[in-house]
Amino acid sequence: MSAITEISPGLVIQRVKPPLKLADFKLIAFDMDSTLINIECIDEIADAVGKKAEVAAITEATMRGEIKDFKESLRRRVALLQGVPVEALQQVYDERLKLNPGAAELVAACKAAGLKVLLVSGGFTFFANRVKDRLGIDFARSNLLDEADGKLTGQVVTQSWGDICDGAEKRRTLLEVASLMGISPQEAIAVGDGANDLPMMGEAGLSVAYHAKPKVREQAMVAINEGGLDRLLELLE
């Protein structure tokens, strides 16, 4: 077990020696829900039909790694959204979704240093595409909710790459984008908070846990346990 060092309150590192150079990296990949943004979107959509507690319990168990099959977990939760009006998504975006502290600053710093920015989410395109545009992110992959007659059907739509962006798909996307860029995964940073982020974090040259579940904090090279996402810049020149 490598030494764990709290280099300042709420900022913990292991297996990495600062300062690192941001310009040595070419790509940064972010999870969305509870990482770039403050909410788990699916839990908030479920609130529209009075099923937040039921859905949130499955979400929490999945992010802790207690439910191993993310795809099955997501299908179970999405099925509970059947009949939700599509307008409820816009309401969640307008009224509940906020960028986490330091998200805009970290993305801007990465872009200024020449990194490409990737958003890979087990959440939904409705939110991921808006967050992508809001932050000037280069590429996003997430799940597409099926709808008919202005309501959610309780299913996800199969896209060209598959139907559900789980941990394996996050990892594959990171590797695919790195390959397209002609870089090594060691030149990538991966930032997440839940168990389904671990596969991509395991491939990246620098893995960052943000206000994460214990299992994720234990495995990440950097854990931001207090403060904003831009605290990563304290380690990077």
Q: For the chain, give the mean pLDDT.
A: 96
CA 140 – CA 68 distance, rounded (Å) = 24
Q: Which two tokens stand for residue 21?
A: 């150079």
Query: Closest Cα to residue 232, out of 7, 54, 77, 44?
Result: 7
Across 31-45, 60-74, 161-175, least confident range: 60-74
Average pLDDT over residues 52-69: 92
CA 145 – CA 236 distance, rounded (Å) = 37
Quick check: 1 pLDDT over 60?
no
One-character DSSP codes across 157-226: E-BTTBS---HHHHHHHHHHHHHHHT--GGGEEEEESSGGGHHHHHHSSEEEEES--HHHHHH-SEEE-S
Average pLDDT over residues 133-160: 97
Q: Which fold would CATH assign to domain 4-234?
A: Rossmann fold (3.40.50)
Among 24, 31, 69, 94, which one carries the catalytic annotation?
31
Among 33, 43, 47, 230, which one carries the catalytic annotation?
33
pLDDT tens digits, one per residue of 102-123: 999 999 999 999 999 999 999 9
Known active-site residue 33 = yes
One-character DSSP codes across 110-149: HHHTT-EEEEEEEEEHHHHHHHHHHHT-SEEEEEEEEEET
- The domain locations on the chain are 4-234
